[in-house]
A and B are shown apart, each in its own frame.
Chain A
Amino acid sequence: MRTRFSYLFSALALFGLAACETTDVDPIKASERPEETSDEAGLWLQMDGAERLLKASAIVERDPALNDYVRGVTCQVIGEDYCNDVRVYVVKQPYFNANMAPNGQMQIWTGLLLRAENEAQLAFVIGHEFAHYKQRHSLQQWREIKNAANASLVFSAGIIAAGVPDAAVLGDITLAARLYGFGRGKEREADQLGFQFATDAGYDGHEAAAIWKYLVSEVENSDLERNRRQIARSSIFSTHPVTSERIETLTAFAEDGEAGTVRQREYIATTSPFLAKWLEADLVRRDFGENIFLINHLIKRGEGLGLLFYRRGEAHRIRRGEGDAIRALADYRKASSFEDVPATVWRQIGDAERTKGDGAAAMAAYQTYLEKAPEAPDRQLVKSYLNKLDE
């Protein structure tokens, strides 16, 4: 057990005026822990604190089946030896993101799970993140920042690690990595090693570039011009490799390798129970262009169509662009012909028909809604609509 003294000591090591330390570090071995008084131990200690917050928070998806699955893929990719060193958290955030803390805390955000198409793509993400851990990229980065002798930079990195409340829950490394980036070199290394880990575990190398290709096409449909510009041509000052370069490199890796498994069925079976929730959360971002592009992409799978047409109707309804009201109603009608449609589709059809002025169609839809969802939270409200339409 760590004593208070050792905590202080690590903190001192972390903030102390260390002479230029080597940023050249050996990969971490399985079960290896940092020396108790090292700067690395200090980094770990801070991340342990952040991880305790994360564990207790409401942003962690705790579904056992999903967690078992992600954990299984992780152990497959990183190998049994490292499996106990890495803890994977599925984090309920609608953005495409994953990150790795130096102490072995890995976060996979639900916005990424929503967009990955198969297990192989998830495996590459895990491989990439694990590479950051194994190569001790956080420690290297920490020492690079310190060696830059920019006291204010070091200080603010400390502040970040100490935690702004919300950032603390998400794990400070996210924010720190966003501010400083792991840098192009480390990201390239993580791509290369991640590719190796995933293909060694038997996954198909072509999927590594595929997830990026999909992402580029989605962001090209963003409602936010800034996003569309950035994905098209990342700035030369960008700390991340340009996305197109990343895709080219990963594609070249795959050409040299042999084909592997993709495991799309397993992936879809595990994630489809969350699709309704994740798509709803994605729409809260209000990037209708991306949300509709994503739904259309999922529709191509040819399953879960009741839910998917319903969700597209929701995006059209909330967007309120020209012709969107008609599109929304058409989506809802189409969705309602599938078995897996949520009962709320009938309530939306009722609202759309009522707005259009078709009282009879609205009443029919509201009645169907109340029959199919007798415990609906808006039951009384819908009943009041029915009473008004009946007058």
Chain B
Amino acid sequence: MFSTVKKISTMVIFLSVQACVGIQTVGPGPFDVQKTMQVTVGKEWTKYPFEPKTGLQGLTIDGVSLNSLTFGVNIKDGKALIYSSDPKTLVPRFRSDMTDSEAVEYIKDSLIYSGMKNVSLANLRPETFGIATGVRFDIAADTERGLNMSGTGKTVIHNGVLQLILYIAPTEYYYDLHIEEVNEILKSATLL
């Protein structure tokens, strides 16, 4: 063993499977995320409990490792998308003065920090997000175990807080399975 004092912290990451308590379904129809964001879903999705420590809310159809639609609402300055019990832990943190591409970089780095490998962004483009203009982006990545994943999402910084919707699914079969539904959901997003 040839290592230093540094340790890889074990952390609860936002794509991880949460305990199977309080699981409900949403849709088809409008879905409010913490009275901050509203989207319209066309199918029935399973809703995981809201995670107050990270501000993240997850939906899935076939299971979180097969398709995960994550909403991040009102992410404030200094907040991390990765939960750590120690507030001093060094992790990517949101800063309210970020440019929109820095917001996407923050999301990307959080994914890498949480263990995704070979993460790359594509097609960054301006897209309306409620009353503001946000950024739409596509993602390609691998899980540590080597599964190819695809993703798409959008984010906006409005009034100093960050809002985020991120869809991730295995590239093979599952990403395409619900991508039309996800595109419609992303288009429908409004800020309340």
Contacts and interface: CB of A to CB of B under 8 A. Distances in A.
Interface in B111-141: 112-113, 115, 117-118, 120-126, 135
Contact of B90 (A125, A166, A286, A380): A286
Contacts of B125: 380-381, 384
23 contacts: A58-B117, A98-B3, A99-B1, A100-B1, A165-B145, A166-B115, A169-B145, A174-B1, A178-B1, A219-B4, A219-B5, A225-B88, A281-B112, A320-B95, A351-B102, A377-B120, A378-B121, A378-B124, A380-B124, A381-B124, A381-B126, A381-B135, A384-B126
Contacts of B144: 57-59, 165-166, 169
A56 interface: yes
A386 B163 CA distance: 25
A128 interface: yes
Contacts of A215: 4
Nearest to B90: A286
Interface in A143-169: 165-166, 169
Contact of A128 (B2, B112, B145): B2
A224 interface: yes
A177 interface: yes
A132 B143 CA distance: 30
A294 B100 CA distance: 28
A377 B143 contact: no
B19 interface: no
Contacts of B118: 58
Where chain A touches its partner, the secondary structure class is: helix
A36 interface: no
Contacts of B124: 377-378, 380-381
Nearest to B133: A384
Contacts of A117: none
Contacts of A384: 125-126
A95 B112 contact: no
Nearest to A354: B99
B35 interface: no
Nearest to B120: A377
Interface residues of B, number: 39
Contacts of B6: 95-97, 219, 227
Interface of A: 53, 56-59, 92-93, 95-100, 112, 125, 128-129, 132, 165-166, 169, 174, 177-178, 181-182, 187, 215, 219, 223-227, 230-231, 234, 240, 281, 284-287, 318, 320, 347, 351, 355, 377-378, 380-381, 384
B14 to A, nearest CB: 15
Nearest to A115: B4
B6 to A, nearest CB: 5
B146 interface: yes
Contacts of B115: 166
Nearest to A239: B1
Interface string B69-108: 0000000000000000000101111010101111000000
Given A166-B115, A384-B125, 12 more contacts: A58-B145, A95-B3, A96-B4, A97-B4, A98-B1, A169-B145, A219-B6, A226-B88, A231-B4, A318-B102, A320-B97, A377-B124
A286 B99 contact: no
Contacts of B135: 381
Given A97-B2, A181-B1, A377-B123, A56 B95 contact: no
Contacts of B5: 219, 226-227, 230-231, 234
A224 B120 CA distance: 29
Contacts of A99: 1-3
Interface in B137-159: 142-147
Given A95-B3, A231-B5, A377 B121 contact: yes
Contacts of B112: 281, 284
B8 interface: yes
A377 B4 contact: no
Contact of A96 (B3, B95, B126, B147): B3
B12 to A, nearest CB: 12
Contacts of A165: 144-145
B3 A380 contact: no
B92 A284 contact: yes
A66 to B, nearest CB: 16
Contact of A287 (B90, B109, B122, B145): B90
Contacts of A128: 2
Contacts of A187: 1
A178 B90 contact: no
A93 B6 CA distance: 12
Contacts of B91: 286
Contacts of A58: 117-118, 142-147
Contacts of B121: 377-378
The residue in A99, A351, A378 that gathers the most chain B C-beta atoms within 10 A of its C-beta is: A378
A377 B113 CA distance: 21
A129 B100 contact: no
Contacts of A227: 5-6
B92 A125 contact: no
A219 B7 CA distance: 13
Nearest to B144: A169
Contacts of A92: 117
A240 B99 CA distance: 44
